[in-house]
Structure 1
Amino acid sequence: MIHSVRGEVLEIGLDHVVVEVGGVGLAVQATPATLAKLRRGEQARLATTLVVREDSLTLFGFAEAAERELFLLVQTVSGIGPRIALATIAVLDPDTLRRALVDGDITTLTRVPGIGRKGAERLVLELRDKVDAPEAPALLPASLNGGNPRRDQVVEALVGLGFTAKPAEGAVDAALALDAEADASVLLRAALSRLGRAR
């Protein structure tokens, strides 16, 4: 298995990055959150795993080793291949995914494209005892986290764009802290800017 790659970022696509390693450009499939952390011309190091099929060799890369381990774990469930596993890591950050599995949170798991109710139930059944529950997150001030439909709307939009929930919530909360009265479109632009994806 190719455990990790390190080298100059040559190209960043919508779903992959090309990293030059020893003079060879390796195409690495990655989540939007991982891609957002990379910059063309800069050095990058990704935790990786190579998926071998009869007709293809596909390299998947992750900013954190914990994401790679969950990516591999999710694929041990019948009916879950690397594409759905990558979508799972893209939509749910490691803590959210572990919490959903431990709590049997079917609603959270079905937010992942390609995972229906039966698939989510299978994930819980097969993986609940294989993951540790994350520590409870610190409570945010009510002014940031409670009763704010604009916040929920913008977080949902960011998740729909492929960002994981935890970074999306942090970016929106930071934007709200600067301007509590901002409307949803202003919050979205500010959050995208913080996430490094502003155009």
Structure 2
Amino acid sequence: MINSVRGEVLEIGLDHVVVDVGGLGYAVQATPSTLATLRRGEQARLATTLVVREDSMTLFGFTSNEERDLFLLVQTVSGIGPRIALATIAVLDPDALRRALSEGDITALTRVPGIGRKGAERLVLELRDKVDPPGAAPAVLPGSAGGPTDEVVEALVGLGFTAKPAEQAVAAVLAEQAGADASTLLRAALSRLGRSR
């Protein structure tokens, strides 16, 4: 997984930045607020996640790990892909997003392009218990604190499984094998997902 990139900013576009990392130029999709913090020719560090699809590999970048974790969390909701998740982070900063989810603020969530009332209700229903209100420690994917859960879910999504079943499979394996390492988790989760297909 590409967890972060650090290097010279070569180019800033409307929706992406190109960062030179060891002689390779990485195109990183980012929100306007993230892009506004960058300057061409200066050094930058972005927290990142790689989204792999059948026909593309797209790197998404964020100013903080908290933004990246919320971006990943939002995608665990069915019907929410990386583009809408990025739009969510663009419209609502981490505190505003956590507040909207924990308080069930449908109006705030429907300000995000691509999220209607039903989508907002689904976000609240599925994520309300997975985020802490602003001021508390930020929430991440269940079980990811100090563990390999989020990496394994990302790997499964990269292999073509949707986020929600991947997360459920990993949680089920952890319930049976608490403290399993990433490779054990991945193998067991793949086995479970294979049986359910």
Matches within 5 A, 1:6-155: 6-135=6-135
Partner Cα distance (1:114, 1:32) in 2: 17
Partner Cα distance (2:35, 2:111) in 1: 21
Number of matched pairs = 136
RMSD: 0.9
1:131: how far off? 0.3
Name the % identity: 87
1:135: how far off? 2.8
Partner Cα distance (2:114, 2:128) in 1: 20
SS of residue paired to 2:132: coil
Partner Cα distance (2:86, 2:107) in 1: 18
SS of residue paired to 1:48: strand
SS of residue paired to 2:27: strand
SS of residue paired to 2:85: helix
Unpaired segments of 5 or more residues in structure 2? 137-197
What one-letter code is carried by the residue in structure 1 that aligns with 2:38? Answer: L
Partner Cα distance (1:134, 1:88) in 2: 16
SS of residue paired to 2:98: helix
SS of residue paired to 2:120: helix
Misfit runs of 4+, over 6 Å: none
1:26: how far off? 0.4
Task: State TM-score, norm by structure 2.
Answer: 0.68
Partner Cα distance (1:38, 1:45) in 2: 9
Unpaired segments of 5 or more residues in structure 1? 137-199
Partner Cα distance (1:135, 1:45) in 2: 25
Partner Cα distance (1:22, 1:90) in 2: 29
